[in-house]
Structure 1
Amino acid sequence: MNQLITIKTSKFDVSKEDENPNNQIYGQSLLVWLRESLKEKFEFSEVDSEDWGWYCFVSFYGRKYMLGATAFFEDGEDPKQDIEWAFQVDKERTWKEILLLQEKMTASDQCFQFFKEFFRGQHEMKVLSTAENA
């Protein structure tokens, strides 16, 4: 299970994102911005596309997490207006951890808590909700 943070912001112009070759879904700019903003603190992979949006990996204090982003924006809408975003955090686990039901991703996970507080600290972003996503 991953943890989901829903935010609203006009910080990013999704019309300037690369085209997602899998599906016409936006979300790249949030992850590119995070990668640039936090590059001194964490190691990030390149941002890539998936049929549900965009993702990258982050090494967070010795653990690997997948970060995903999707912008709820459709062509024709004004990209300078507030856009709602879904940001997900999913912890990679070893097969042993999965089989023994260890190190599950929860709302109290340090990586999830870090990004939730990071977004809350951005004056141009509003955290709308957090939730567990199956």
Structure 2
Amino acid sequence: MNKAIYFKTSLFDPSKEDENDINPIYGQSLLIWLRDKLGSELEFSEIGTEDWGWYCYINWKGRQYLIGSIAHFEEGDDPNMDTDWIFQVDKTRSFKEVIFGKEKMTKNDPCFLFFKKYFEEEPQIKDVEIG
């Protein structure tokens, strides 16, 4: 099960994002920002769209994770105002791990905690909470 980090920021401009071809949901700009900031540390796949938002896969310390992003932004909203964001992290598990209940995603997962700390340390990101 994925874990989520909630926060507010005006650091990204959702109005300049590509259109989500499945559902008109914003969130691409956060993933682009992370790729630009962390691309030398983490391997990022292409960013894609889903009916719930935007996602990509990362290779974090030899393990694959799906990271996803959603911005609570609507056409006409002011991109200079704080926007509510949801950032999701989900660990890819093998069939065997799923069957035997191993390597489950938890709020204490090192990859999840890495991103939580990364957002908490960014001065332009506020009100970081986990859910």
TM-score (norm 2): 0.98
* Map of 2:104 onto structure 1: 104
* Map of 1:74 onto structure 2: 74
CA distance in 2, matches of 1:57, 1:127: 25
Q: Secondary structure at the match of 2:59?
A: strand
Could you say what the CA RMSD is over the residues aligned between the two structures, in angstroms? Answer: 0.7
- Is the counterpart of residue 19 in structure 1 residue 27 in structure 2? no
Q: Name stretches of at least 5 consecutive residues in structure 2 with no aligned partner.
A: none
TM-score (norm 1): 0.96
Q: Name stretches of at least 5 consecutive residues in structure 1 with no aligned partner.
A: none
1:5/1:127 contact within 8 Å kept: no
* Map of 2:31 onto structure 1: 31
The Cα of 1:127 is off from its aligned counterpart by 3.6
CA distance in 1, matches of 2:126, 2:56: 22
1:119/1:127 contact within 8 Å kept: no
The number of aligned residues is 131
- In structure 2, give the amino acid aligned to 1:82: D
2:116/2:128 contact within 8 Å kept: no
Q: Alpha-carbon deviations, 1:5-63, whole Å to 9, x = none? A: 00100001111000001010000000001011001111000111111100000000010
Structure 1: 4+ residue segments shifted above 6 A: none
CA distance in 1, matches of 2:48, 2:56: 6
1:114-133 → structure 2 map (5 Å cutoff): 114-131=114-131
The Cα of 1:80 is off from its aligned counterpart by 1.4
2:119/2:128 contact within 8 Å kept: no
